[in-house]
Structure 1
């Protein structure tokens, strides 16, 4: 159960921050965001704040931000329709009631002559109480359409995704993967603040309770000045000398709180990868400081980003088989293994997954963020957008292929771990 919870929390956090990036920059661009969803399938929880409905859905395998203009915009109000209108004090339409008008006794019922709720924002028609007089009613930009008791806010053209500049649209899409990198960077900083950042100073870190260093009397914080008379200037020097001398007594000259002390330590012999080496049971020294933590955050984020790109390169060149890819099942099994090694390793694992999610979404694959960014790049080169229907078809085919790949990867995971 703890693994299930860890998996849901990690995966949920990655999706949440990814979609949060889309939401923040879409709202900054003035795009109407109808829904912010974590998961797919039936709604488990739903609440509305401002213009956006925030939902939690049954299957925690992704999420989405539904922006106005990306899907066909609601019902078209055609001439001859009989609708109800609720007006504010400025005589602007705030609610357009398509059916069950009897539930709104204060509405004005009209027969529509002409309507435009995207560009010019008006409805023209004949009110029931003045059948021969044609009236024009201005529509409020935040008016809602009511159908079967459900309210849906209209989306004037300037609130739709497609009406925004190329830069605004690009940023709204790029912000999702960007947030995954930011999340990983912040988590790596938190880990470094709590665990410290390894340094190369010749200073003893944590002493293990059953090691030769503890038995000899060495203590955490001792600064090693020399070993067997040879001066040491770095932690690398200390490690190298210890490893070269298994079962051989070594005289450590250490500085402990300003006092020089000579302590004899005999490294325990251990075979690692077929080679005999010496160990004394001392961890490397660490430094806990905000500056070091931020530096470590950058280094770790860069390192894992580079590693993932290296693996992608091997996949493209055939050095890495598709059978070695993992999907949700493989990630779950790996999460179970990592969770047993402690909270910090679990956080580090989550950061690596976040970087991986960011990179995967930036690949120029249709249906992913990178695929959409690729279409924006083409638009920038040709000076006009690609036909929406053609782009939609490409994304549909890409999504179908991704689902097929997901099925193959999931089946391989099941065979690898459970069969």
Structure 2
């Protein structure tokens, strides 16, 4: 795969993994009637922003995740106090805009001093306008305009905390579920693209050739079928084929490959590492849809065990920080895999999607698993945990995750520099 395609495919892969996860949160929050203020890919400063309906869609600088900001869980509110002078604009006898600054520049508005205001339950404003007290009803989607931005009000029934435990849990759990669904689909797609090994393989195929490698210099091409090496038939035994290469360091080897039905003679000299720069693979066949579904399910089970074994090693200290990879290391591995071809990248994307879903369900503060844990406690206790305490737990957890991300990213970069 050409480098430009590798880069594009890598970016699209990460975008798909994160955006589908956040879409799960977004979709079920909207179904529950929750006001979703922002759908973001990445963290940090905004690179792109566009508002559609009630939600602002943003792409942010740091590509290390994403978030869906729901009303009642975010700090984006504008406080309006009694005694404050504001201006309001009405339509069909309902207040649609509330201005809190630059009042002298507003035209076609009603100016007055706030006597009382309720933008969550009763949705009204009482204003003193030239000595007369008037009561105005507020539209449930009214905008508060101030400090150069517009903020939609969030009536209590549009806030995250007003929904049932089940509705809130579903809007949180849906993110990881989308990653599991995506992983299953991608595993199946990878099988369809790459095929499955035949029961008794008789060929060793070249699935890829690394640029500037001994194999590339010798003229080997992707799709070649290795017939013999040094006069010895290879058949379908990949292990024996690899051993032959590994024991011929620096020695020219006579290869015969079948290329589009014609035999081609090549001389290949393994490098000092005992490699020639190829991705050998066995003979394969095209599977049916049912077989692909079965293999995808088996892959989900296999890789779930591998992922949890990795977590176990971290918990028991078998894997240290220096052995962990962050965004930089993951991106490098992804690029290396993408160079091998779309089937390999698709399978890798499935593994990452599965990992993302499982990791987010861990009971670590700031992750979906922790939020589900708090909802579970609420269901058992019959009342929610103090929102301020829960927010502090998630804030500390998020800060620790960011610190961990900085450390592993530093290790990634240090590892790249030392190579």
TM bucket normalised to smaller: 0.7 to 0.9
Counterpart in the other structure of 1:51: 54
Q: SS of 2:154's equivalent?
A: coil
Cα distance between partner residues in 2 of 1:144 and 1:282: 61
Q: Quick check: 1:36–1:54 contact (8 Å CA) kept in 2?
A: yes
Q: CA deviation at 1:283?
A: 3.0
Equivalent of 2:73 in 53, 70, 76: 70
Q: Quick check: 2:35–2:158 contact (8 Å CA) kept in 1?
A: yes
Select the structure of larger CA radius of gyration. Answer: 1
Cα distance between partner residues in 2 of 1:141 and 1:170: 25
2:48 is the counterpart of 1:60: no
Q: Quick check: 2:40–2:58 contact (8 Å CA) kept in 1?
A: yes
Q: SS of 1:211's equivalent?
A: strand
Q: SS of 2:114's equivalent?
A: strand
2:330 is the counterpart of 1:331: yes
Q: SS of 2:59's equivalent?
A: strand
C-alpha spacing 1:378/1:329, structure 2 compared with 1 (3 Å):
same
- Give unmatched runs, 5+ long, in structure 2: 206-223, 245-279
Cα distance between partner residues in 2 of 1:107 and 1:167: 43
Q: SS of 1:40's equivalent?
A: strand
C-alpha spacing 1:397/1:282, structure 2 compared with 1 (3 Å):
closer
2:173 is the counterpart of 1:171: no
Runs of 4+ in 1 over 6 A off after TM superposition: 203-207
Counterpart in the other structure of 1:144: 143
Equivalent of 1:13 in 12, 16, 21: 16
Counterpart in the other structure of 1:81: 84
- CA RMSD between the two structures: 2.9
Q: SS of 2:42's equivalent?
A: strand
Counterpart in the other structure of 2:315: 316
Q: CA deviation at 1:166?
A: 0.7
Q: SS of 2:325's equivalent?
A: coil
Cα distance between partner residues in 1 of 2:128 and 2:47: 43
Q: SS of 1:400's equivalent?
A: helix
Give the stretch that moved more between structures: 388-397 or 30-39. Answer: 388-397
Q: SS of 2:226's equivalent?
A: coil
After TM superposition, the score normalised by the length of structure 1 is 0.78
Cα distance between partner residues in 2 of 1:121 and 1:322: 52
Cα distance between partner residues in 2 of 1:25 and 1:141: 21
Counterpart in the other structure of 2:264: none
Q: CA deviation at 1:198?
A: 3.9
Counterpart in the other structure of 1:120: 122
Q: Quick check: 1:127–1:135 contact (8 Å CA) kept in 2?
A: yes
Counterpart in the other structure of 2:270: none
Equivalent of 1:93 in 92, 95, 105: 95
Counterpart in the other structure of 1:210: 226
1:10-409 correspondence runs (5 A): 10-72=13-75, 74-89=77-92, 91-128=93-130, 131-132=131-132, 134-198=133-197, 200=199, 209-211=225-227, 283-409=282-408
Q: CA deviation at 1:297?
A: 2.1
Q: CA deviation at 1:73?
A: 5.1
C-alpha spacing 1:321/1:343, structure 2 compared with 1 (3 Å):
same
Q: Quick check: 1:73–1:155 contact (8 Å CA) kept in 2?
A: no
Cα distance between partner residues in 2 of 1:400 and 1:86: 41
Cα distance between partner residues in 2 of 1:26 and 1:141: 18
Cα distance between partner residues in 1 of 2:65 and 2:171: 18
- Give unmatched runs, 5+ long, in structure 1: 220-237, 247-280
Q: SS of 1:409's equivalent?
A: helix
Cα distance between partner residues in 1 of 2:336 and 2:281: 25
Q: Quick check: 1:189–1:297 contact (8 Å CA) kept in 2?
A: yes
Q: Quick check: 2:78–2:151 contact (8 Å CA) kept in 1?
A: no
Q: SS of 1:120's equivalent?
A: coil
After TM superposition, the score normalised by the length of structure 2 is 0.78
C-alpha spacing 1:103/1:296, structure 2 compared with 1 (3 Å):
farther
Cα distance between partner residues in 1 of 2:118 and 2:55: 23
